[in-house]
Amino acid sequence: MKNTDSAVNNRNFIGYSLESAISIGLIALLVWWCFLIFRPFLIPVLWAIIIANAVYPFYRKLENGLGGRSKLTAALFTLAAIALLMVPTVMLFGSLIDGIKELSAGLKNGTLTIPPPTDSVATWPVIGESVHKFWHSASVNLQATLLRIGPQLKEIAGGLLSSGAGLALGVIQFVISIMIAGVFLAKAKDCHTISIKIFRSFAGERGAELVDLSSATIRSVAQGVLGVAIIQSLLAGVGMLIVGVPGAGFWTFLVLLLAVVQLPPILVLGPVIFYVFSVSSQTAAVVFAIWGVFVSISDSFLKPLLLGRGVPVPMLVILIGAIGGMMLSGIIGLFVGAVVLSFGFKLFQAWLDKEVQAEPETMVPDPSSVRESDEKK
């Protein structure tokens, strides 16, 4: 009888185990399938979350000004943000296309000429003589110079075309992200409630605190990274316009890109400074060089002012998270890395506080109480 009951129990256990394994496998398959379907929208949704958090204070002010009409406010924000993105993009691409057309027409007609270099170009350190020689050759016979560097030009053109295609795709993704961000802003209260529920499922009662921390960190990085990048690019653009650098808008855009990815703007401004020394007066060139160096190092005092404001996490933690996240995951990692490292810091801080609170229980007893106890004995 016992053997029969044991066999029945074994069969039931095997049946339950098999049923559980099948259920877990089906759930895992469903989760993986959902992820594959959602994966093309993962980056736009992440950017939408970042945009919505970054502009939420401004959105709240606009919503209050419009009498609390959240849907109208979100629609106006979406249209304004798309226009703010598309107008400079269309102008940039339009100027590039017009420049390419003029360059192509000048090459065909033989009307394109390059002014000869000044003698000061040859005095540039390291590259002066070679640049002066190549520049002078191009000014004398441009067609022959272009034929000589034809293979290099083809490689550069191919890289520019691929970069342009990637930039166009990035702009489309950003437009989609802005639209999704508009939906998030219109449903801000619901999104906040859902976020708290999700975080509480992982962190318990600290879920609401972590939601507020993530929002504040995203806004801090937006101010301290994107804000500093915009300031640096504007300062660089103003300087280049004053000294008359051709294509100042394009170089300003490159400075913005470098500043966003945490590279020094001097990588763009350095060659521009050399160019200004070769075509402008000595005084103007020196002033612009000082201005370019100032723009390049301005992030050293702008980031402490803007990064980490309103966040209960040290600025150094946010900065390390932003730079490390960018090195790991690209531009999106600027925000994700800062948020993740801030979470880790807060959890580590909570663990330390818990250890400090537990410490008095294991403290050595007071010597006076020990003496009293001995006297009673």
Residue 234 forms part of a structural domain: yes
What counts of helices (H) and strands (E) characterise the chain? 16, 0
Question: Domain for residue 87, yes or no?
Answer: no
Summarised one tens digit per residue, pLDDT across range 83-92 is 887 877 777 6
Look at residue 108 and tell me if it is in a domain.
no
256 part of a folded domain = yes
Measure CA 210 to chain center. 21
pTM exceeds 0.75: no
DSSP secondary structure string, 297-320?
A: HTHHHHHHHHTTTT-SS-HHHHHH
Task: Tell me if 22 is assigned to some domain.
Answer: no
Res 106: pLDDT: 67
Domain count, the chain: 1
What amino acid is encoded at 154 in this protein?
Answer: K
pLDDT for 3: 57
Q: How far apart are CA 182 and CA 155, in angstroms?
A: 41
Does 298 reside within a domain? Answer: yes
Cβ atoms 322, 220 nearer than 8 A: no
Residues in the chain predicted with pLDDT less than 50, given as ranges, are: 361-364, 370, 377
pLDDT at 164: 62
pLDDT per residue over 310-367, tens digit each?
A: 667 777 787 788 778 877 777 677 777 777 888 788 777 777 776 555 555 444 455 5
Q: What pLDDT score was predicted for residue 291?
A: 92
Is 172 within the bounds of a domain? no
How far is it, in rounded angstroms, from Cα 31 to Cα 36? 9
Q: What pLDDT score was predicted for residue 129?
A: 77
Q: What is the pLDDT of residue 124?
A: 67
Domain with 285, as residue range(s), is: 207-353
Note the pLDDT of residue 370. 45
Using an 8 Å Cβ cutoff, are 59 and 191 in contact? no
Q: Which residue is listed with tokens 């975080």? A: 199
Q: What is the pLDDT of residue 165?
A: 65
